[in-house]
Structure 1
């Protein structure tokens, strides 16, 4: 199945599949495979019995033959069409890979999120403009909220990360609070595009006027609200360990997001 996923990825890269949902199928198949493997390896005996009950009617040998045959067919089909993989298609995502490597070396995720944010906004295209309400701070808050709804994939990922604490609570309850905290930081960071934009552009701050602390405070409203709602929604996952752990996760997520978005850029000598 892994070789089949690689083959599908290559076929999409050479534009063999032009359907917009093909990459979602790849991601869904990969997550489903990882989830079933994790459930089989780390799950309790009742969960393994339930998984076997669901998969047993399919038959192990026919399923194995079908998966191996599909992977082999896709691999052969990809090998026949590798000649269509041009240099432009091959290097299309090279800047993302370089940014990911640099972010890993410096332990600074902002280096990667900035590149991904520019890449996402290039795919947005044209949007419908609208008027802002009266009042300086209300207008800035509304603009930040509108930016959130126009950012592709921000809200789906923010809500999808809520499954992480529940999965950790079912597989390893001891690590559920830590999983909630880390997932809360990742989810809240998805809502801080406005805060990152304000901090990275001194010219934009001068054009908007006011103090830097005031601009950062108004652009922290959306991430703080999102962190509070997210942690309230995942509170049942850690309720047995402590009823107030969701509040600690919310405060920690906001603090980490603010620090990552407002810290000065790294300089080398």
Structure 2
């Protein structure tokens, strides 16, 4: 029975993925320009395809670095790898699977970029995306082997993000940079990707147990998060890795007042890891560029998503407090008195982002206030959500069981976003 169930789930996943790929390949290239979400008064610029390709390639590189990309289970790392075995022969199937997954993700990236650019002849750029995805994973494997330095992936990510930013600026300014439609660049990128893949398979025996265990932690956290429908596990694992890189910092004196001390500690968290400021700056730049091509309703929804994202980034302290009941008891105060000071920083970040992100020529105070309040409310409800419980009310239907209690827990925070989006559609 176990084999039949595994086969059914695998077949269902393959069917859904093939259906999505078929849907992507059969969409007309002008579907975006005719959508109500786009500003039909503006001529669609294919340069946006380059911007999307740069951002998604950076995401692929970062994801490959976070997942290892080669990882093994704890029992394999403890019992098998310390023995005198041929490590390269044992690891190359895993590397082949990682390279194949990178190729598939790259195909999706290339097709989406060609879809956004409105290319009629989209196959060359799609294959270019497959080469970039495979090469990104191969680079991550070479870094994990120690053949390339660790800063290689950071440089590649910075180049991709910078290129995406330049493409967005060019597109917003009215310039045009068409996507590649010839096969010569695709051939060059494919040769480089194959060479990097061959090098990664050849040198995979150099991967140490320490490097594989780092990737396995993230892999296990991702698997558990998908199983338990709770992304806080994988985000917590990634945050722990980030704080390990920060290492030690000098102690600072905090105010004697509990409220001011909580605010100061929350601010020092972002001062010691300033990546949150970089992400907020990217959100503001994305709002500036996308507002030139989106319709008013789509722009308002985009503002809501970006402001909510900034709120979530700056509310890490609130999440840490709500997730650790022992810490709240140690601080010795009511939950509301502890939570409110930790909402000061995300609220200020939301207000500043909303002010900077709104176009100066079309500022709508009602829209700005509604977006800010809705984003902060959704952030507070999401961060103060209790740990998921998988018991409770289950509704028996003719199509199976519906976990009503689990759904109620999961929509806490999302309901505020949906309500705000509905109000924005009426007010804008």
> Alpha carbon RMSD of aligned pairs, Å?
3.4
Q: Counterpart in 2 of 1:15?
A: 146
Partners of 1:136 and 1:90 lie apart in 2 by 42
Q: Counterpart in 2 of 1:262?
A: 384
Among residues 221, 227, 237, which one is paired with 2:350 in the alignment?
227
Q: Residue 231 of structure 1 contacts residue 250 of structure 1 at CA under 8 Å; is this kept in 2?
A: yes
Q: Does 1:50 align with 2:173?
A: no
Q: Residue 288 of structure 2 contacts residue 358 of structure 2 at CA under 8 Å; is this kept in 1?
A: no
Query: Displacement of 1:146 after TM fit?
Result: 0.9
Q: Residue 234 of structure 1 contacts residue 246 of structure 1 at CA under 8 Å; is this kept in 2?
A: no
> What TM-score comes out, normalization by structure 1 length?
0.80
Matches within 5 A, 1:181-220: 181-220=304-343
Q: Residue 165 of structure 1 contacts residue 177 of structure 1 at CA under 8 Å; is this kept in 2?
A: no
Query: Displacement of 1:139 after TM fit?
Result: 1.9
Q: Residue 321 of structure 2 contacts residue 327 of structure 2 at CA under 8 Å; is this kept in 1?
A: yes
Among residues 77, 81, 92, which one is paired with 2:203 in the alignment?
81
Query: Displacement of 1:216 after TM fit?
Result: 0.3
Decide which moves more: 109-118 or 184-193. 109-118
Q: Residue 168 of structure 2 contacts residue 289 of structure 2 at CA under 8 Å; is this kept in 1?
A: no
Query: Displacement of 1:227 after TM fit?
Result: 1.0
Query: Displacement of 1:257 after TM fit?
Result: 1.5
Q: What whole-Å deviation, never above 9, does each CA across 1:45-82 have from its counterpart, x for those lacking one?
A: x95x6214xx89xxx67755543443333223223212
Among residues 125, 146, 157, which one is paired with 1:27 in the alignment?
157
Q: Residue 154 of structure 1 contacts residue 190 of structure 1 at CA under 8 Å; is this kept in 2?
A: yes
Q: Which runs of 5+ in 2 are unaligned?
A: 1-131, 392-428
Query: Displacement of 1:236 after TM fit?
Result: 1.4
Q: Residue 168 of structure 1 contacts residue 175 of structure 1 at CA under 8 Å; is this kept in 2?
A: no
Report which of the two structures shows the higher radius of gyration computed on alpha carbons.
2
Q: Residue 191 of structure 1 contacts residue 226 of structure 1 at CA under 8 Å; is this kept in 2?
A: yes
Among residues 191, 208, 215, which one is paired with 1:93 in the alignment?
215
Q: Counterpart in 1 of 2:375?
A: 253
Q: What whole-Å deviation, never above 9, does each CA across 1:134-180 have from its counterpart, x for those lacking one?
A: 43322221111112212352222222222332343244335222222
Query: Displacement of 1:37 after TM fit?
Result: 9.9
SS at match of 1:18: coil
Q: Residue 13 of structure 1 contacts residue 85 of structure 1 at CA under 8 Å; is this kept in 2?
A: yes
Query: Cα–Cα, structure 1 residues 113 and 182, in superposed 2: closer, same or farther, change >3 Å?
Result: same
Query: Cα–Cα, structure 1 residues 124 and 32, in superposed 2: closer, same or farther, change >3 Å?
Result: closer
Among residues 257, 274, 284, which one is paired with 1:135 in the alignment?
257
Query: Cα–Cα, structure 1 residues 244 and 102, in superposed 2: closer, same or farther, change >3 Å?
Result: farther
Partners of 2:235 and 2:134 lie apart in 1 by 29
Q: Which runs of 5+ in 1 are unaligned?
A: none
Query: Displacement of 1:220 after TM fit?
Result: 0.8
Query: Cα–Cα, structure 1 residues 107 and 19, in superposed 2: closer, same or farther, change >3 Å?
Result: closer
- Would you say how many aligned residue pairs link Structure 1 and Structure 2? 258
Q: What whole-Å deviation, never above 9, does each CA across 1:59-115 have from its counterpart, x for those lacking one?
A: x67755543443333223223212223555334223323433444555543333222
Query: Cα–Cα, structure 1 residues 170 and 2, in superposed 2: closer, same or farther, change >3 Å?
Result: farther
Query: Displacement of 1:214 after TM fit?
Result: 0.7
Partners of 2:219 and 2:306 lie apart in 1 by 23
Q: Residue 8 of structure 1 contacts residue 26 of structure 1 at CA under 8 Å; is this kept in 2?
A: no
Q: Counterpart in 1 of 2:412?
A: none
Partners of 1:163 and 1:109 lie apart in 2 by 27
Query: Displacement of 1:219 after TM fit?
Result: 0.9
Partners of 1:172 and 1:12 lie apart in 2 by 40
Query: Cα–Cα, structure 1 residues 230 and 107, in superposed 2: closer, same or farther, change >3 Å?
Result: farther
